[in-house]
Each structure stands twice: as structure tokens, then as C-alpha cells.
């Protein structure tokens, strides 16, 4: 965890050195351009984790389906820029993906594809490891591209696990940053590592951090994992983390993954599906309070951190 924390701090130091002015003061570039046409109602939800393989893509896709069933227009964006998963989970091979956006050959809107499940996806760029090392300007341009999706009600961003500038940008930009862990000690430790960095670097922001415990044996186990993390975050980081809910360890998830369909579709009554439905109902009841959406996102993203303003 220490290594990961140090790596993140280094990234944040680099970000600060090349930081752009806050969006309000921006005269040029993506932030100034996009804030003018922001859809303040659009809700941006990131799903992230410290450790890989804990259930981000399953949660992102199935949460999107549950929101769609509530009548929301939802886009899932696969921001795992090294190993795309979302399209694999949905058995789709889109012709274009984020690689083409990063290379400025396509816009995000042009690569958006509808699925048979009532949600749209932006496919990730598998095997394009260079994206992990995108420069500051390219990253900003890329995030600026999200503005073209502003007719959606909700964008769910499935990030890669762990630490990178891209992930941090997305987390900083989100209305709701969902951190997912399993009850495994290594997953908990890594999730706490991410929360700690967010707290350290963005303490002036109300991040709307939310915790989901995946692959739990039951409510009691999940609650005890969540309570521990939330107490530590409150006590040592002075950071409020909300417990959003848990998902059962459920063989139906594995079956659905093998069939390359969302478990909410294959088995809408399975334990995991019911849990995701509860999580989404809770999120839908607790909408972000202050004006959000793209303009707000850009302001959050390009606002100086507390140490810069101090
Ligand atoms: N609730 C669950 N019950 C049982 N198995 C699960 C559950 N959630 C996830 N899994 C298993 O874990 C695997 C990884 O899940 P998923 O691909 O969603 O994780 P991820 O965090 O997106 O991984 P990566 O970091 O590689 O992107 C699934 O293929 C499935 O086998
Ligand atoms: Mg994934």
C-alpha cells in the first residue's frame, strides 16, 4: 500500500506542476470550451478499486442496466485504457474505441454504440498501454470530449484498478466515486489506499465517496468490512464515506460472465441482481445535492487542490 500511495502522490505532484487554472479562469483549451455547454443535470459515477478483479466491470454494467430500468438514459464508458472489459462482458466488438478518440480520429459520440440492453457503451482501448502515459493536455482533451455525451442522464465510468493519472482525473471529476472492494484483506487495504490518497489530495472537495462490498457472504460480513473502512476514513482522514451496499458472492455472476451477458439479464432474480437493484435505488434516492454535470465536473477537475490554495 505504501508503494501505491507514494506512486499516487508522485502523480499528483506532477499534475500540480502542470496544473491549469480553475475552469472559471480558463481562457482556452477544453475546460473553457466545454463548460459553456454543460448539462448540469448529467450525473457522473466512477467505479474504481484498489485491487484488480474485484468486480468493477460487473458492477458498472449491471448498475447501468438497473438505472436504465428506472427510465434513465445511461452510458457506460470503459476507461480501462489498457485492458478493455465492458465490450467483452457484453459480447460486442465495436469497430471503433477509445484508441481512436485518443488518436483524435473519432469523437466519443462517434464511437458510442447502443447495446441490446437499453444502455450505450463507449468501448475501451484494449492493449493500448501508451494511454496509461497520456500527457496532461491529451488527458484534458479526452475528458473534455465527455461533454459531447451530455444528453445522457448518467455516465458510469469503469476505471482500471489502482493508481494512474487517468483514474485520478476521473475520480476527481465524478459526482459519485464508488469504491468497490471484496472482504479480502488485500482488497480492503488497497481500497483504503485509494481513499487515503483522495482524502489527502482533494480534501477541499466533497467527493461523494461511496463504498460497495462485493462478493460478500452476507449483509453482516459486508457491513463489518464497510464499518471498519468508514470508521478508519472518518477517524484518520476526516473523510466521510457512505456505505452504499453489498453484493453477494453469487455463482450466477460467473455464469453470466461466461455467457458474456449481464447477470441482471441472465438472472434478474439472483442474489447479485437484487443487491445491485438495491444499490441503484439508493443512489437514485440520494442524488448529488449541488449542481453537477459537466461544467461542475470540469470545475472540480481543474480546481487547485487545497495545498495549492493554502
Ligand atoms: N458478486 C460476485 N459473485 C461471484 N463472482 C464474482 C462477483 N463479482 C465478480 N465476480 C468474479 O470476479 C471476476 C472479475 O469481475 P470483474 O471483471 O467485474 O472485475 P474488475 O474489477 O472489473 O476486474 P479488472 O480489474 O480486471 O477490470 C468475474 O469474472 C467473476 O468471475
Ligand atoms: Mg474490469
Expressed in angstroms and rounded, the spacing between residue 109 Cα and the centre of ligand 2 is 22
Task: Give residue ranges with CB within 6 A of ligand 1.
Answer: 49, 52-58, 80, 85, 161, 214-215, 247, 249-250, 253-254, 257, 272
Expressed in angstroms and rounded, the spacing between residue 65 Cα and the centre of ligand 2 is 16
Distance CA 78, CA 87 (A): 8
Distances (CA, A) of 59 to 66, 149, 233: 10, 21, 23
Q: Which three three-digit cell numbers place residue 205?
A: 472537495
- Residue whose CA lies nearest to ligand 1 atom number 16: 55
Which ranges constitute the DSSP H helices of 131-184?
A: 136-145, 165-173
- Residue whose CA lies nearest to ligand 1 atom number 26: 53
Asked if 157 contacts 77 with a C-beta cutoff of 8 angstroms, the reply is yes
Asked if 181 contacts 229 with a C-beta cutoff of 8 angstroms, the reply is yes
Q: What angle do CA 114, 117, 122 make, to 5 degrees?
A: 35
Expressed in angstroms and rounded, the spacing between residue 58 Cα and the centre of ligand 1 is 6
Ligand nearest to C-alpha 214: 1
Distance CA 141, CA 29 (A): 8
Closest CA to 171 of 21, 36, 11: 11
Expressed in angstroms and rounded, the spacing between residue 170 Cα and the centre of ligand 1 is 21
Nearest ligand 1 atom to the CA of 85 is 27
Q: What is the pLDDT of residue 206?
A: 61
- Residue whose CA lies nearest to ligand 1 atom number 28: 254
Distances (CA, A) of 24 to 235, 250, 296: 34, 47, 10
How remote is the C-alpha of 186 from its chain's centroid? 20
What parts of the chain have a pLDDT lower than 50? 1-5, 15-16, 18-38, 204, 291, 303-310
Expressed in angstroms and rounded, the spacing between residue 249 Cα and the centre of ligand 1 is 10
Beta-carbon neighbours within 5 Å of ion ligand 2: 56-57, 85
Nearest ligand 1 atom to the CA of 250 is 3
Conformation bin of residue 243: beta by default, left when phi > 0, alpha when psi is -120 to 50 = beta
Q: Which three three-digit cell numbers place residue 170?
A: 476521473
Distance CA 300, CA 15 (A): 14
Expressed in angstroms and rounded, the spacing between residue 56 Cα and the centre of ligand 2 is 5
Expressed in angstroms and rounded, the spacing between residue 86 Cα and the centre of ligand 2 is 7
Per-residue pLDDT tens over the stretch 141-162: 777 777 778 789 999 999 877 7
Q: 164: how many CB neighbours lie within 10 A of its CB?
A: 20
Q: What is the pLDDT of residue 75?
A: 96
Q: What is the pTM of this model?
A: 0.84
Q: What is the pLDDT of residue 91?
A: 94
Nearest ligand 1 atom to the CA of 257 is 29
Q: Are strands 120-122 and 74-78 parallel, antiparallel or unpaired?
A: parallel
Q: What is the pLDDT of residue 73?
A: 95
Mutate to test the pocket of ligand 1, among 58, 76, 178 (most ligand atoms within 8 A of CB): 58
Expressed in angstroms and rounded, the spacing between residue 33 Cα and the centre of ligand 2 is 31
Q: What is the pLDDT of residue 2?
A: 46
Q: All domains of the chain, ordered by start, with CATH?
A: 2-19+29-304 (3.40.50.300)
Nearest ligand 1 atom to the CA of 214 is 1
Amino acid at each position: 500500500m505504501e508503494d501505491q500511495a507514494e506512486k499516487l502522490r508522485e502523480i499528483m505532484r506532477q499534475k500540480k506542476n502542470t496544473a491549469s487554472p480553475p475552469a472559471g479562469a480558463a481562457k482556452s483549451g477544453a475546460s473553457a470550451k466545454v463548460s459553456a455547454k454543460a448539462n448540469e443535470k448529467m450525473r457522473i459515477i466512477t467505479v474504481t478499486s484498489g485491487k484488480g478483479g474485484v468486480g468493477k466491470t460487473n458492477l458498472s454494467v449491471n448498475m447501468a442496466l438497473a438505472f436504465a430500468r428506472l427510465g434513465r438514459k445511461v452510458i457506460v464508458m470503459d476507461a480501462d485504457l489498457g485492458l478493455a472489459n465492458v465490450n467483452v462482458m457484453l459480447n460486442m466488438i465495436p469497430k471503433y474505441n477509445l484508441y481512436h478518440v485518443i488518436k483524435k480520429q473519432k469523437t466519443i459520440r462517434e464511437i458510442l454504440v447502443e447495446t441490446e440492453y437499453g444502455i450505450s457503451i463507449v468501448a475501451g482501448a484494449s492493449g493500448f498501454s501508451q494511454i496509461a502515459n497520456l500527457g496532461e493536455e491529451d488527458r484534458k482533451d479526452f475528458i473534455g470530449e465527455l461533454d459531447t455525451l451530455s444528453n445522457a442522464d448518467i455516465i458510469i465510468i469503469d476505471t482500471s484498478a489502482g493508481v494512474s493519472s487517468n483514474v485520478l482525473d476521473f475520480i476527481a471529476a465524478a459526482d459519485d466515486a464508488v469504491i468497490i472492494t471484496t472482504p479480502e484483506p488485500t482488497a480492503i487495504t488497497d481500497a483504503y489506499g485509494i481513499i487515503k490518497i483522495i482524502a489527502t489530495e482533494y480534501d477541499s472537495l466533497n467527493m461523494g465517496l461511496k463504498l460497495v462490498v462485493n462478493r460478500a457472504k452476507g449483509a453482516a460480513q459486508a457491513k463489518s468490512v464497510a464499518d471498519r473502512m468508514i470508521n478508519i476514513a472518518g477517524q484518520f482522514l476526516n473523510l466521510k464515506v457512505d456505505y452504499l451496499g453489498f453484493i453477494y458472492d453469487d455463482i450466477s455472476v460467473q455464469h453470466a460472465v461466461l455467457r458474456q451477458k449481464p447477470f441482471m439479464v441472465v438472472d434478474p432474480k439472483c442474489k447479485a441482481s437484487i443487491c445491485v437493484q438495491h444499490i441503484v435505488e439508493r443512489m437514485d434516492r440520494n442524488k448529488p445535492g449541488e449542481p453537477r454535470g459537466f461544467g461542475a465536473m470540469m470545475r472540480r477537475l481543474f480546481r487547485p487542490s487545497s495545498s495549492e490554495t493554502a
